[in-house]
Amino acid sequence: MNIAEINKKILKLKKEKNALILVHNYQLPEVQDIADYLGDSLELAKIAVNINVENIIFCGVKFMAESAKILNPEKNVILPDISAECPMANMVKSEGLLKLKKQHPEAKIQAYINTTAEIKSYSDICCTSSNSAKVANSVDSNKIIFVPDQHLGRYTETLVPDKEFILWPGSCPTHHRIHKEDIFKLKEQHPNAKILVHPECRLDVINAADHAFSTNGMVNYAKKSDATEFIIGTEKDMCYRLKKENPEKKFYPIKSAVCPNMKKITIDKVLKSLETLEPKIKLSDDIMKKAKMPLQKMMDIGRGD
């Protein structure tokens, strides 16, 4: 079957199965093209809350699909490849986190949304890359255990200097691989381009950029900015969406910034998931209840971009 035939089948099955296709900004271009909604992890998890569907096909990685399940417990959340996991989310385990909390009982645990449902269930509050400083300021303790992304934690620390941060030594392998030399090389070739990087990048990369934005922040900035050229320091397929929505502007990706886990979702697997309604995300009621609290606390605070 060619792409057009697969897409036709997907469209038909989507209606028959009362399904919604949610797609993260880092997905393959052909998967982005079949999205009902395209966005970042929190945006996608929240979208489904107000839409009357039975099945959510989540094209992203597992922790994102888990967040969608936590916010939509009565719906089936289907991840077309259950092995699509985020290595950074898996860098923090509950035993280690509880041990650290024991050493710092007065500290509050701020968990980046890129964590498993289990880690969220032990956390005081969640955050995204756009609201991490806003969330840290809201925490009723001067000491924060920040998990799992040391780079986002370090960046947040610079924005909230009056609090003490204990940083978990995790990082996103895709963003960790971006070096400021990669940015400078592109800047040399495109001197008028604005440099936008994700806060999961190293701090020296963030400091070399014009702006640090979540993927949603990049979408908004690229749309409104008078600039016509942008160097994009995040997963390379973010540029596909940016280019599609701003065809008159130019976007330069860091070509080596690829997340292999995001790329595990293909349109063939989406089609198979629509046919079988598998594999479903399964979480215990207890974990869902506990993990919802820090997510809800964060949502009450709102986005930062």
Interface with ligand SF4 (CB under 6 A)? 26, 61, 86-88, 114, 172-174, 235, 259, 261-262
**Shortest reach from residue 113's CB to ligand SF4, in Å:** 10
Whose Cβ is closer to ligand SF4: residue 87's or residue 279's? 87
In the complex, the smallest distance separating the C-beta of residue 231 from ligand SF4, rounded to whole angstroms, is 18
Residue 215 CB, nearest approach to ligand SF4 (Å): 10
Helix (H) or strand (E) holding 214: none
Q: Where are the alpha helices (DSSP H) in 229-266?
A: 238-245
Beta bridge partners of 56: 20, 77
For residue 231, give the amino acid letter: I
| 17 vs 214 by CB, closer to ligand SF4 | 214
User: Smallest distance, Å, CB 85 to ligand SF4?
Assistant: 8
| 228 φψ region: left (φ > 0), alpha (ψ -120 to 50), beta (else) | alpha
Nearer to ligand SF4, 150 or 261 (CB): 261
Q: At which residue do the structure tokens 């923090």 appear?
A: 92
Q: Largest Cα–Cα distance in the chain?
A: 58
For 87, how many CA atoms within 13 A lie in the half-sphere containing its CB? 12
Nearer to ligand SF4, 14 or 216 (CB): 216
d(CA 126, CA 73) in angstroms, rounded, equals: 19
Q: Which is nearer to ligand SF4, 124 or 200 (CB)?
A: 200
Strands (E), 128-260: 143-147, 164-167, 194-197, 211-212, 229-233, 250-253
Instruction: Supply 166's token pair.
Output: 């204990």
C-beta of 177: minimal distance to ligand SF4 in Å? 10
In Å, how far from its chain's centre is CA 194?
22
Nearer to ligand SF4, 96 or 260 (CB): 260
As measured in angstroms, the least distance from the Cβ of 153 to ligand SF4 is 14
